[in-house]
Chains A and B, each alone.
Chain A
Amino acid sequence: MSYLIAHYNYWIVIFLMMAGLYVVIAQGNLVKKIVGLNIFQAAVNILFISMAKIEGGTAPILVAGTALYSNPLPHVLILTAIVVGVATTALALALVVRINGAYSSVEEDEIHEQDQSF
């Protein structure tokens, strides 16, 4: 039990990750798929950030009297990853707008039907 609690951040990450991936796979709505993808990416970001935390550490700012601080590198990495994620989301949403314009639908099965009818 204490093992479960001690690693609670990983449980959250795993839950979010699986939830996101499930939404991506199971949802037929293209916009909801993107939401799932975002949850999935957020989970990975939390994984990175939580590993950077050192118990009792402060923010990595140069202050007299503190020697222990969190590892700043993962934060930097995740900033980049967030930017990448935002770009991906923007592009995905733009594609959905175009798809909606071309098919008048954002439901996967309806689009598939229209493609088959050709």
Chain B
Amino acid sequence: MPLLAAPLCLLVYERRLAWGISLGLSLAALAIAALLLQRTLAEGVISYELGGWSAHWGIEYRVDVVNAFVMLVVTTIASVVLLYARQSVPGELYLGRIPLFYAMYMLCLGGLLGVTITGDVFNLFVFMEISALSSYTLIALSQERRALTAAYQYLIMGTIGATFLLIGIGLMYIMTGTLNMRDLAAALPAVTGTRTIQTAFAFIVVGVSIKVALVPLHLWLPNAYAYAPSAVTAFIASTATKVAFYVLLRFLFTLFGAGFAFGNMLLGGIFLALGLLAVFTGSTAAIFQENVKRMLAYSSVAQIGFMILGVSFATTTGVGAALLHLFNHAIMKAALFLALGCVYYRLGTVNITDMRGLGRDMPWTMTAFVIGGLSLVGMPLTVGFISKWYLVLGALEQGWWPVAAAVLLASLLTLVYIWRVVDVVWLKVPATQRQPRVTEAPPGMLLPLWVLIFANLYFGTHTTLSAGVAMQAADWLLGGGG
């Protein structure tokens, strides 16, 4: 049971941390996060070996392959970003607020982990709100005043999403009288014909989709990512939407069952359309952004589209590709945002016009950016290739040629916006010499960045761990595992 102990001790610890306001405690948080990472890593391997293994801890915490996989992603990103935050955060926050930043960061992490491991739908709502509230605060901590409106917008959208989820949970409770996921999964098939459950289903899907930032509901995302401090962007971009995505999968497959969600409610078609829409609007919008951070935010919208696309296939390959993309996108987006954080640290801006010729001044940072970008495009040898490969494979399995073609076309769009940055950074000469001269980012920031970049390359060539686990998790989800 070390897995349960770790997040719980983290929860206890971070509350204390929230009050003990000092930078020293942030280092303790780093140690705890690293410890937690190790433990989940070990646990993830264990459940991986045992396949669809699940158990009760207490009444409500349950961990299976899917959970462990998502938790692994979250904790990895959290600890790497925390390592990075030490030097990046003082540059972007008011000094007095830094301890608050760490407290909020830990709360957010605790909330996200809680969402992932809980086996109780109401508990899930509460944890989701914990992580959401702390992420609003994290965004608002930025010195940029537009971050305030972005956080406000996110808060309004996020709260509506969460309240929709709550309505759905309430309606399910009316019909089944239980909140435990396993009991719900057992009780729901008997009542799926009723309009109450159909309404509950609609509320939950819409509510969670707001959190996932699926396309018509993504409006909060670009601003929130663009104006938040770099470390926060890297953390939230690669964890919050991913955990929300996990919740969506959990509700769709474990609770309602694939047959109901995709058979009766026609969600497959809806998700297919919305996923494609997300991929194309996100990529196209990204091409026209001046602010590189905003560009990456729109690209996140597109990548979420890819994941939703994978889910819409409702096959092992499709859902596996979605989970794999969840993992891969987390590490590459975090790497890209960290690279931009380095740029911001030295340059004080991330507008594309100000980054002319930056490759000469910050070669390590920008090389990392290029590799991360190529991964986003889906070059072979990087992680992006693996998940796109499975996605196309899933589409072909269904005989959906146009979808496979669309995925490839969208990758080309990705290449366009990544190339824009590469072109400016490496091939252009700065109009005027920068004063004072810009130098490479400090090693404390470069190290975490390159760890993620190496993870990109490693998982791009050694797919057994990530792809294997993802496929097994998908298999388990589709098997209606209770």
- Chain A residues within 8 Å of B, Cβ to Cβ: 21, 24, 30, 33, 37, 40-41, 44, 47-48, 51, 73-74, 77, 80-81, 84, 87-88, 91-92, 95-96, 98-99, 102-103, 111, 115
Contact = CB atoms under 8 A, between A and B. Distances in A.
Nearest to A103: B145
B153 to A, nearest CB: 9
B152 A96 contact: yes
A47 B152 contact: no
A99 B152 contact: yes
Given A95-B151, A98-B140, A98-B148, A84 B126 contact: yes
B166 A44 contact: yes
A41 B160 CA distance: 9
Given A24-B156, A92-B155, A98-B148, 16 more contacts: A24-B160, A37-B156, A41-B159, A44-B167, A47-B167, A48-B170, A74-B173, A81-B166, A88-B129, A91-B133, A91-B155, A92-B152, A95-B140, A99-B152, A102-B145, A115-B149
Interface of B: 122, 125-126, 129, 133, 136-137, 140, 145-146, 148-149, 151-152, 155-156, 159-160, 162-163, 166-167, 170, 173-174, 179
A98 B94 CA distance: 14
Contacts of B179: 73
A24 B159 CA distance: 11
18 contacts: A24-B156, A40-B160, A40-B163, A51-B170, A51-B173, A51-B174, A77-B122, A80-B122, A81-B166, A84-B125, A84-B126, A84-B162, A87-B133, A88-B129, A92-B152, A92-B156, A92-B159, A102-B145
B136 A91 contact: yes
Given A80-B126, A88-B133, A102-B148, A95 B163 contact: no
A44 B170 CA distance: 8
Contacts of B156: 24, 33, 37, 92
Contacts of A87: 129, 133
Contacts of B140: 95, 98
Contacts of A24: 156, 160
Contacts of A73: 179
Contact of A41 (B122, B163, B170): B163
Contact of A37 (B137, B159, B173): B159
Nearest to B144: A102
Contacts of B133: 87-88, 91
Contacts of A51: 170, 173-174
Most chain B beta carbons < 10 A, residue from A51, A80, A84:
A84
A71 B86 CA distance: 49
Contacts of B145: 99, 102-103
Contacts of A102: 145, 148
B149 A111 contact: yes
A95 B140 CA distance: 8
Contacts of A33: 156
A98 B141 CA distance: 11
Nearest to A71: B177
B166 A88 contact: no
A95 B136 contact: yes
A115 B227 CA distance: 13
A84 B129 contact: yes
Nearest to B128: A84
Contacts of A91: 133, 136-137, 155
Contacts of A88: 129, 133, 155, 159
A91 B134 CA distance: 10
A110 to B, nearest CB: 11
Nearest to A34: B156
Most chain A beta carbons < 10 A, residue from B151, B160, B162, B174:
B160
Contacts of A92: 152, 155-156, 159
B141 to A, nearest CB: 10
B87 to A, nearest CB: 26
B236 to A, nearest CB: 16
Most chain A beta carbons < 10 A, residue from B126, B149, B155, B174:
B149
A99 B148 contact: yes
